[in-house]
Copies of this chain bind each other. A is one copy, B any other.
Amino acid sequence: MNGAQSLIRTLVDAGVDVCFSNPGTSEMHFVAALDSVPEMRGVLGLFEGVVTGAADGYARIADKPAATLLHLGPGLGNGLANLHNARRANTPIVNVIGDHATYHKQYDAPLESDIEGIASSLKGWVRRSEHTQDVGADAAAAVAASQDSPGQVATLILPADVSWGEGGQTCAPVPPRIPQAVDSTTVKTIADVLTSGEPVALLFGGKACREAGLRAASRIATATGAKVFAETFPSRIERGEGVPTIDRLGYLAEQVTYQLDGIKHVIIAGTKSPVSFFAYPGKPSDLVPEGAKVHVLAEVGQDIVKALIDVAELVAADTEPVLQEAARPALPTGTLTPQNWVEVIGALLPEGAIIADEANTSGLLLPAATAGAPRHDVLTLTGGAIGYGIPVATGAAVAAPDRPVLNLQSDGSALYTISGLWTQARENLNVTTVLLNNRAYAILRLELQRVGADASGPKANELLDLSGPDMDFVKIAEGMGVPATRATTAEELAEQLARAFAEPGPHLIEAMVPPLF
């Protein structure tokens, strides 16, 4: 057994049986070894940002890591933006990076690169396998590290000769560190804050955005009158009929200021104290209302769900959560607008859908339109590195082949990782992409004004304009093997969306929605 075979066998034994891959020469023995471990599925991406984003989407849905296969420092560089998003989502990923043979590194060959330097920017777990006989143990450690609560990117660097060498040994799975429980004193303290009679906001994140956490938060809100909010960009949040609908904190500082107006106590559970996404001249970065006190119920790595339930048992023992009732918008008509396209989504969203949401400005009105749709999951852009939607939708569809995946995708962001469409076609994944073509970096038009820059110049505006030439996403998608259509009216969008959901395999609908701003 060579090193690569011991690596893949160990991964499979630990439950990691999908490897999103973009290999090069130094990974050829890993690629060959895939045929010796039938349980491991290799999924090819044509760009590393597709590979890492797919691994992120996969784990958010599967609740276990996928592996990646990347080619030295440049491959890691190309994958870094979506690994940044994964880091901010606390997604477990086993990030395998091939390197030159150990004895070859001294020659500074053209692809020699500082893999550790780049990987360490992710603030996760990094190890280099130095000997073939250790690869199995290193792999088991990587899987465990990736799942250490709350989850992280675990990078394993695999030199080519360590991979091709004989003497590989598989290693039994290593249990990850489980989340630490919140102590009863803290729970009691928080319960006292909630029942103090002063205005309280409870902000929660991570796994608490799933049903159990949402139910506890809803009970707390109902019993105490506290405002409760999910974090701005959850890794995965459950929504729809039968689940409590809880608003997320806004992206814009102005929204958060409104949401937290008058609050005297901010309780944090498994997320961060609210801060502005960017800094703006003359505006505060810290969004905790002046004079309010911040209390921490649970750190990000702790058992947030149990902590919320424990608090609910103290302050809301007899209170039921408020569950969302079924409610869909009527199917709208007319030329597409930022308002009516979300109503089409709300009207037609299938049961059990997974939404990979990179609609950005085009999607500001989406939450209200989908609140009463059948139960679904929403994945969000946790780290702000655009180009996440197509890859994450791809990975989510690999994780849940029986669920419809809907990627709501803005045009500017789509171009970063557009080749993910090809992977969807190759793997025949049930992903429907609604490509929101407003022909602009619309969010930057807004931000140009918000930062107080002089927004009047033609050169500045040209850099935020995606027309000239207009992109034709129908052709781009078809060129990558994904059937595509264009919708300019709500009726067309509804008809095309219904058809896409009804047919297996990927589809893209280019929705000509004008900019909101």
Contact B78 A111 (CB under 8 A): no
Q: Contacts of A75 on B, CB cut-off 8 Å?
A: 81
Q: A31-B448, A74-B385, A111-B277 are in contact. Are A472 and B463 (CB under 8 A)?
A: no
Minimum CB distance partner of A467 in chain B: B426
Among A117-125, A145-153, A322-330, A392-400, the one that faces the other chain is: A117-125
Q: Contacts of A292 on B, CB cut-off 8 Å?
A: none
CB-contact partner of A161 in B120, B123, B281, under 8 A? B281
Copies of this protein, total: 2
Interface residues of A in 465-480 (CB under 8 A from B): 466, 468-480
Query: How many of A's residues come within 8 Å of B, CB to CB?
Result: 103
Q: Contacts of A286 on B, CB cut-off 8 Å?
A: 107
A73 on the B face (CB < 8 A): yes
CB-contact partner of A468 in B385, B426, B463, B473, under 8 A? B426
Minimum CB distance partner of A381 in chain B: B110
Q: Contacts of A459 on B, CB cut-off 8 Å?
A: 31, 34-35, 42
Contact B469 A422 (CB under 8 A): yes
Interface centre among A35, A42, A161, A454 (most CB of B within 10 A): A35
Q: Contacts of A447 on B, CB cut-off 8 Å?
A: 24-25, 28
Minimum CB distance partner of A108 in chain B: B272
Sample of 21 A–B contacts (CB below 8 Å): A25-B447, A26-B279, A29-B453, A31-B444, A31-B459, A32-B448, A46-B416, A77-B79, A78-B81, A101-B279, A103-B279, A110-B233, A114-B123, A117-B118, A164-B451, A415-B419, A418-B418, A469-B481, A472-B480, A474-B479, A476-B479
Given contacts A32-B448, A34-B463, A114-B123, 17 further A-B contacts (CB under 8 A): A23-B463, A26-B279, A28-B453, A31-B444, A32-B457, A35-B458, A46-B412, A47-B415, A74-B80, A100-B279, A104-B285, A109-B275, A117-B120, A118-B118, A160-B451, A418-B418, A476-B479
